[in-house]
Amino acid sequence: MSNQLEDLTSPTEYASGDFYEYADNSTFDIGFCDKSLVREFRRQYEPPLYWAIFCLGALGNLMVIWIYLHVRNRFKTMTDMYLFNLALADLLFLGTLPFWAVDASSGWSFSVGMCKIVSALYKINFFSSMLLLTCISVDRYIAIVQATKAQNLKEKRLFYSKLVCVVVWLLSCLLALPEFIFAQVKTNDRKATTCSLVYWNYQNNRTKILVLSLQICVGFCLPFLVMLFCYSVMILTLLQARNFEKHKALRVIFAVVAVFVLSQLPYNSLLVVEATQAANITITDCTILRNFDIASQVMKSLAYTHSCLNPILYVFVGVRFRNDLLKVLRACTRGMGQGKISKLSPSVPKRPSVMSDTETTLALSL
């Protein structure tokens, strides 16, 4: 049995060879299962999808960053700060997808150092994106459920948001250390190379189980539980409010939670199965293994689409951002006729609403 165990949760999962090698933890009966079909599916499926996600996500997140830097020119609320960092995290995360697209189609043609860096960047921005979504949920909860207190602490909250963002990025770097440590370029019998995680403690898979557990807990369970609590209380508060555009707010809440669950729950459920498999080998049937691998690739790509949807859900459904975007489009239209783009001034909402940026009603999506 090989003394290295491939991590099946990296973006290059299931691609390093043409056979599965599995063993029972107690008897170590070794078997092989042809996975060339899975490799071919990955080669056909992932590159076009990753490039599509990259292009759409980059367009949306670059627009968010551009509006914050050149239209608004400043951060007024905690959620402003979180949304800007979320767009930055999503953009950096999307920047790793072209590498995985090339890896899926023709193998890893870059250095070992680049393999480690891209793997670490992928996980840093994955964790930071999930944690920032959690922070946005908490900030909205404070601004809606405790609106008076939030207004009184406006200046301090903005300072705290900067501090929280620093903590989020540092924590994400710490959680991504396994990617940097264990990422390696592997070559199979057919001389095909791939960038994947290779754990040292292969006998009982403790390292792999720990990494999977961190990804599941920090990347899904924590954000989901926080969002569930915050948005549940917010819904009750909105239902009791008068003269409040609660219907729009409720639609945004349901959209945010639904998209997060639909995009993240399927893939994380498969990660739970994989962690169980790593702890105690139970799946040895070749057909089941191949189907599991293909399903994981599909669910993983579905999870990646969240970085494309974030600008729509958290930004462009808001009144202020829609107005900012219209200003940009009008300026670009005028600029095409005049040979230059007019200078934009920060937008000011005409009236407070649940979908605007006021502190008392909290822009649910700014």
pLDDT tens figures, 296-311: 888 888 888 888 888 8
Q: How far is CA 356 from CA 94, 249, 322, in A?
A: 28, 10, 10
Q: What is the pLDDT of residues 3-15, one digit of tens each?
A: 333 444 344 343 3
**Minimum mean pLDDT among 34-38, 102-106, 345-349: which range?**
345-349
Residue 213, token pair as written in the block: 């557990």
**Minimum mean pLDDT among 37-51, 80-94, 275-289: which range?**
275-289
pLDDT of the residue at 52? 92
* Average pLDDT for 246-262: 75
Q: What is the dihedral of CA 55, 59, 61, 66, to 10 degrees?
A: 150
Q: What is the pLDDT of residues 342-352, one digit of tens each?
A: 455 544 444 33
* pLDDT band for position 358 (cuts 50, 70, 90): very low
**Minimum mean pLDDT among 41-50, 166-175, 310-319, 335-344: which range?**
335-344
Kindly list the structural domains of the chain, giving each domain's residue range(s) and its CATH number in brackets, ordered by start.
5-338 (1.20.1070.10)
Phi, psi of 114 (to 5 degrees): -65, -35
pLDDT of the residue at 171? 94
* pLDDT band for position 148 (cuts 50, 70, 90): confident
* pLDDT band for position 88 (cuts 50, 70, 90): very high
* Average pLDDT for 59-67: 88
* pLDDT band for position 29 (cuts 50, 70, 90): very low
Query: 20-24, 205-209, 217-221 — which one is most confidently predicted on average?
Result: 217-221
pLDDT of the residue at 202? 53
Q: CA angle, 190 as apex, 185 and 191 as ends, to 5°?
A: 40
Residue 321, token pair as written in the block: 């951002």
DSSP state of 13: T
Flag whether pLDDT at 282 surpasses 50. yes
Q: Give the closest residue to 36 by CA, choosing from 202, 184, 188.
A: 188
- C-alpha span between 168 and 174 (Å, rounded): 10
- C-alpha span between 161 and 84 (Å, rounded): 11
* Average pLDDT for 225-229: 92
* Average pLDDT for 206-227: 88
pLDDT of the residue at 300? 86
Question: What percent of the chain has a predicted confidence (pLDDT) above 70?
Answer: 73
Q: What is the pLDDT of residues 149-193, one digit of tens each?
A: 767 676 677 788 889 999 999 999 999 998 888 888 888 666 778
pLDDT of the residue at 200? 65
DSSP state of 174: H
Flag whether pLDDT at 336 surpasses 90. no
User: Bigger pLDDT: 339 or 74?
Assistant: 74
Flag whether pLDDT at 144 surpasses 90. no
